[in-house]
């Protein structure tokens, strides 16, 4: 079986597992080799299947495992990327149903919206060079579904995690943060709470030194796969604190102080 056919087959298996409500399991044995490029080939096919099934489109991207807290939780010392689809973009104060997920988890992030297309570049993107393509930032809560993954062995299943669109199931955005405050995002402290009780806090500098570095990482990742960021797309840059598992009836909140906050209600 050639690589393209294998990627499509594994993507179809991921789709079947999700529709059947099955637990997360490693599919590493189905890959040609232990290289992330194969996982992203599967992710591309899986996202295409999601788009066709749900009649939606790619709205943006996520960068996962960008902070020490998340790398420690997962046991993997590098970042991975996934797509955010348009039908799962939400505004602050929205409601989701816990029953719609295998095991719902939330992450507390800083996101960016692109003001113009990012062109192909012969040199790697950096925090400084990517900044001019940013329209604004947002406090954000990522919605994900780990389907009861076993975190003790998850480091052995990173290829499957990447192929499974990095578990993304949506993104909740607060009010936009504009130019004058974007530089502050490296030093700003974010506080995560469930039902009004603080569950963690972290600073923007924990996101690869600055959230813009995660955005540059994503631009370079896409470039390596023959793609670029487009005007209006949103990129969320990784959780400042460990993932949380909200119970039914919980209000989830993430507060960036004077730069704003974002909330999500779980029913």
Per-residue pLDDT tens over the stretch 131-160: 999 999 999 999 999 999 999 999 888 989
pLDDT of amino acid 43:
96
Q: Specify the pTM.
A: 0.95
pLDDT at 29: 64
pLDDT at 4: 81
Q: Which tokens go with 231? A: 């005007």
pLDDT of the residue at 183: 83
- Helix (H), strand (E) at residue 137: strand 134-145
How many C-beta atoms surround the C-beta of residue 81 within 10 A? 23
Place of tokens 């076993």: 150
Between the two ends of the chain, the Cα-to-Cα distance in Å is 44
69 band by pLDDT with thresholds 50, 70 and 90: very high
Average pLDDT, the chain: 94
Predicted confidence at residue 32, as pLDDT, reads 53
DSSP state of 149: -
Q: Which residue has the tokens 């393209």?
A: 4
Q: What is the average per-residue pLDDT within 214-224?
A: 98
Q: Which of 166, 118, 122, 126 is nearest to 146 (CA)?
A: 166
pLDDT confidence tier of residue 125, bands split at 50, 70 and 90: very high
**pLDDT at 35 > cutoff 70:** no
Residue 180 has pLDDT above 70, yes or no: no
> What Å distances lie between residue 98 and 87, 95, 196, CA to CA?
17, 10, 19
Residue 258 corresponds to which tokens in the numbers above?
């004077």
Tell the residue number behind the tokens 């009861």, with chain if given. Answer: 148
The H-assigned helical ranges of the chain are: 3-20, 36-54, 68-74, 127-130, 158-163, 179-182, 211-224
**DSSP classification of residue 22:** P
Find the mean pLDDT for residues 56-68. 98
Would you tell me which CATH number, out of the four given (3.90.850.10, 3.40.50.720, 3.30.2350.10, 3.40.50.300), belongs to the domain 58-266? 3.90.850.10
What pLDDT does 79 receive? 98
Burial class (CB in 10 A: 0-12, 13-18, 19+), 214: buried
Nearest residue to 126 via CA among 61, 203, 218, 204: 218
């Amino acid at each position: 079986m050639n690589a393209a056919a294998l990627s499509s087959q594994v993507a179809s298996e991921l789709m079947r597992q999700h529709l059947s409500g099955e637990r997360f399991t490693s599919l590493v044995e189905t890959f040609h080799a232990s290289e992330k490029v194969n996982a992203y080939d599967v992710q591309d096919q899986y996202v295409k299947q999601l788009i066709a099934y749900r009649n939606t489109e790619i709205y943006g991207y996520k960068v996962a495992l960008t902070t020490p807290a998340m790398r420690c939780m997962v046991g993997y010392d590098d970042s991975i990327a996934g797509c955010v689809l348009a039908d799962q973009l939400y505004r602050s104060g929205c409601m989701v149903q816990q029953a719609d997920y295998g095991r719902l988890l939330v992450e507390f992030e800083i996101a960016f919206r692109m003001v113009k297309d990012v062109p192909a570049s012969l040199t790697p993107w950096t925090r400084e060079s990517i900044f001019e393509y940013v329209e604004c930032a947002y406090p954000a809560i990522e919605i994900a579904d780990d389907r009861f993954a076993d975190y003790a062995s998850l480091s052995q299943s990173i290829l499957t995690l990447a192929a499974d669109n990095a578990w993304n199931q949506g993104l909740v955005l607060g009010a936009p943060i504009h130019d004058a405050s974007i530089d502050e995002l490296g030093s700003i402290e974010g506080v995560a709470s469930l039902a009004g009780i603080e569950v963690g806090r972290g600073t923007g500098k924990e996101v690869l030194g600055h959230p813009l570095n995660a955005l540059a990482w994503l631009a370079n990742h896409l470039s390596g796969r023959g793609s670029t960021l487009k005007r209006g797309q949103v990129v969320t840059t990784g959780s400042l604190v460990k993932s949380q598992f909200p119970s039914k009836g919980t209000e989830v909140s993430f507060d960036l102080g004077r730069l704003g906050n974002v909330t999500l209600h779980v029913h």
